[in-house]
């Protein structure tokens, strides 16, 4: 996260921005409004340093909420076949085989040849 404010304005408004990447494009979004420069002067003498402290707090909070996960995959290990109903390795193209059996049992290929020949 980063601090954004208009440096040319007389009374800038401080925002917390977060950057996002969508493919090759990058964009930022205002996550929170810290406050106007004049309002922050009532709280502290240096509003810019106060805003930077708030950004550091947001960054620490973001780091603490992230969970790291490490997955170790051994590509040499063979996957054992299972008899579970949910196993995707045993259920590949079952619907195709059922339709193929019906197609051959009903002789649909020869039927369509006769119909289109007339």
| pLDDT tens figures, 26-51 | 999 998 899 999 999 999 999 999 99
Give the DSSP H/E element, type plus range, for residue 101. Answer: helix 94-105
* Structural domain contains residue 72: no
Integer Cα distance of 55 and 17 in angstroms? 9
* Structural domain contains residue 16: yes
* Structural domain contains residue 118: no
What is the pLDDT confidence band of residue 2, given thresholds at 50, 70 and 90? Answer: very high
* Structural domain contains residue 48: yes
Domain containing 9: what range?
2-65
* Structural domain contains residue 50: yes
* Structural domain contains residue 44: yes
* Structural domain contains residue 42: yes
Reference 40, options 61, 15, 58; nearest CA is: 15
Q: For the chain, what is the domain count? A: 1
Per DSSP, the three-state class of 11 is coil
What is this structure's pTM?
Answer: 0.52
CB contact at 8 A, 35 and 53 = no
Task: Dump pLDDT digits (tens) for 12-30.
Answer: 999 999 998 888 899 999 9
């Amino acid at each position: 996260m980063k601090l954004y404010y208009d440096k040319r304005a007389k009374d800038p408004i401080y925002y917390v921005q977060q950057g996002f990447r969508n493919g090759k494009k990058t964009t930022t979004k205002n996550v929170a409004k810290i406050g106007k420069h004049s309002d922050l002067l009532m709280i502290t003498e240096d509003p810019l340093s106060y805003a930077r402290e708030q950004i550091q707090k947001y960054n620490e909070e973001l780091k603490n909420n992230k969970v790291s996960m490490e997955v170790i995959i051994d590509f040499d290990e063979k996957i054992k076949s299972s008899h579970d109903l949910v196993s995707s390795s045993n259920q590949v193209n079952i619907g195709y085989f059922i339709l193929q059996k019906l197609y051959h049992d009903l002789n649909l290929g020869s039927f369509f040849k006769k119909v289109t020949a007339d």
